């Protein structure tokens, strides 16, 4: 890891490659977000410090290059972050789950990234080679993050003891990009949503209503928290209706404490 960090810092226009399930698509298509075509690739897939799921300091720590399959199979992840396991199960199909990583989903920063609302609902912390970034400060704009150009994600830390539920709606149950993806917690009040704005976001008005135990108010308020658009996958009005339906459904699944 030390060598990789050093190499990344000293090599201009370099991009890390983890599972490659986003980056290889970009390399083939010639479309590079959020930065231009790289002149060098740093393969981080096999760096041992970036692998594994472990408990540390009252948190669950997941290595940035741990695959979705590794997360799905981890006993600790199943026990402590079942909503993240549920999200990992919906990503692509087996091949993508074997290669895709949490670090890649974060750095790619797609508004439709399926783990991102879950990480927001858990108040995860993104640990890089130089600092810790609270997840609600990580997404700074469309496909933009708080990462510096030479900053490597090392791990994600998730506080223990929170009940979060997850739901994704796509064109079909598997191999689908989200039209709406959501993760919700009652305590603390969190309603995090993807595919309804330029960034994965926390629905502030809905969360305020949830904190007052006003479920109906939260569902109504959600309409003002999101900024869905019409695109190839769906329409703004469909996304708005589905987002409110999912929030209602997830709240019904979460017992009041
Ligand atoms: C067929 C298919 C289906 C898919 N289905 C889904 C889906 O259902 N849901 C979903 O959310 N996504 C989906 N994806 C997108 C992709 O699989 C995920 O975003 C995945 O998490 C990317 O991880 P990766 O390790 O493959 O990233 P890579 O492709 O290796 O990298 C992605 C980006 O992250 C950067 N990066 C990687 N690791 C680090 C690091 N440690 N530090 C800093 N930057 C880093 C890379 O430089 C690159 O910019 C799909 C992709 C394909 C091809």
Protein residue with its CA nearest to atom 7 in ligand 1:
91
Provide the 10 A C-beta neighbour count for residue 54.
14
- Chain centroid to Cα 19, Å, comes to 15
State how far the Cα of 27 lies from the Cα of 66, in Å rounded to an integer.
22
Domain boundary among 159, 178, 213: 159
Residue 17 lies in a domain: yes
Mean pLDDT of 154-173: 95
| From 1, 7, 21, 25, mutation site for ligand 1 pocket: most ligand atoms within 8 A of C-beta | 21
Cα separation, 153 vs 64, in Å, equals: 6
pLDDT digits (tens, 9 = 90+) for 179-196: 999 999 999 999 999 999
Rounded average pLDDT over 98-109: 98
> Is residue 200 domain-resident?
yes
Specify the CATH number for the domain of residue 124.
3.30.465.10
Distance CA 52, CA 103 (A): 12
CA–CA distance, 247 with 253 (Å, rounded to integer): 10
Question: Which pLDDT value is given to residue 244?
Answer: 98
- Could you give the angle at the alpha carbon of 171 between the alpha carbons of 168 and 174, nearest 5°? 65
Question: How far apart are the C-alpha atoms of 71 and 88, rounded to whole Å?
Answer: 7
Instruction: Based on the fold, state whether residues 207 and 245 are members of the same structural domain.
Output: yes
Looking at the structure of the chain, the number of domains it has is 2
Q: What distance in angstroms lies between residue 108's CA and the mean position of ligand 1's atoms? A: 6
Residue ranges of the alpha helices (H) in 131-235? 204-211, 215-225
How much is the mean pLDDT over the chain?
95
> 3-state class of 214 per DSSP?
coil
d(CA 164, CA 160): 11
| 70 touches ligand 1 (CB under 6 Å) | no
What is the ipTM for the molecules in this complex? 0.99
The finding on whether 126 has its CB within 6 A of some atom of ligand 1 is no
Q: Do 77 and 117 belong together in one domain?
A: yes
Q: How far is the CA of 19 from the centre of ligand 1 (A)?
A: 7
Measured by CA distance, the residue closest to atom 2 of ligand 1 is 92
Query: Quick one: 153 and 73 in the same domain?
Result: yes
Least confident among 27-31, 62-66, 78-82, 214-218: 27-31
Regarding the beta carbon of 185 and ligand 1, being less than 6 Å apart is answered no
Neighbours of 221 (CB within 10 A): 21
Verify that 150 and 236 share a domain, yes or no: no
Full residue range of the structural domain in which residue 117 is found: 2-29+48-159
101 pocket-lining for ligand 1 (C-beta < 6 Å): yes
Can you tell me the distance from the alpha carbon of 68 to that of 132, in angstroms, rounded to the nearest whole number? 22
Examine the pLDDT at 232 and tell me if it is beyond 80: yes
CATH code of the domain in which 222 resides: 3.30.390.50
User: So what's the pLDDT on residue 46?
Assistant: 96
Select from 128, 159, 190 the last residue of a domain: 159
Gap between the Cα atoms of 129 and 123, Å rounded = 20
Determine contact, residues 40/11, Cβ cutoff 8 Å: yes
């Amino acid at each position: 890891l030390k060598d990789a960090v050093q190499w990344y810092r000293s090599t201009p226009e370099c991009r890390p490659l983890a599972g490659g399930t986003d980056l290889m698509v970009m390399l083939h298509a010639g479309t590079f977000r959020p930065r231009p075509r790289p002149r060098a690739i740093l393969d981080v897939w096999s760096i041992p410090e970036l692998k594994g799921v472990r408990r540390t300091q009252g948190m669950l720590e997941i290595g940035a290059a741990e695959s979705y399959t590794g997360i799905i199979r981890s006993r600790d992840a199943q026990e402590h972050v079942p909503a993240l396991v549920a999200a990992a199960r919906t990503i692509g199909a087996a091949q993508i789950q074997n290669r895709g990583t949490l670090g890649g989903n974060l750095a790619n920063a797609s508004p439709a990234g399926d783990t991102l609302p879950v990480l927001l609902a858990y108040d995860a912390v993104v640990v890089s080679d130089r600092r810790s970034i609270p997840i609600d400060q990580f997404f700074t704009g469309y496909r933009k993050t708080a990462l510096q150009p030479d900053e490597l994600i090392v791990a994600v830390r998730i506080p223990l003891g929170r009940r979060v539920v997850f739901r994704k709606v796509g064109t079909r149950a598997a191999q689908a990009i989200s039209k709406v993806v959501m993760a919700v917690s009652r305590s603390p009040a969190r309603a995090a949503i993807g595919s309804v704005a330029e960034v994965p976001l926390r629905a502030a008005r809905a969360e305020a209503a949830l904190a007052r135990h006003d479920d109906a108010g939260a569902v109504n308020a959600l309409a003002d928290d999101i900024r869905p658009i019409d695109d190839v996958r769906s329409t703004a009005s469909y996304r708005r209706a589905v987002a409110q339906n999912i929030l209602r459904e997830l709240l019904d699944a979460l017992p009041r404490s």
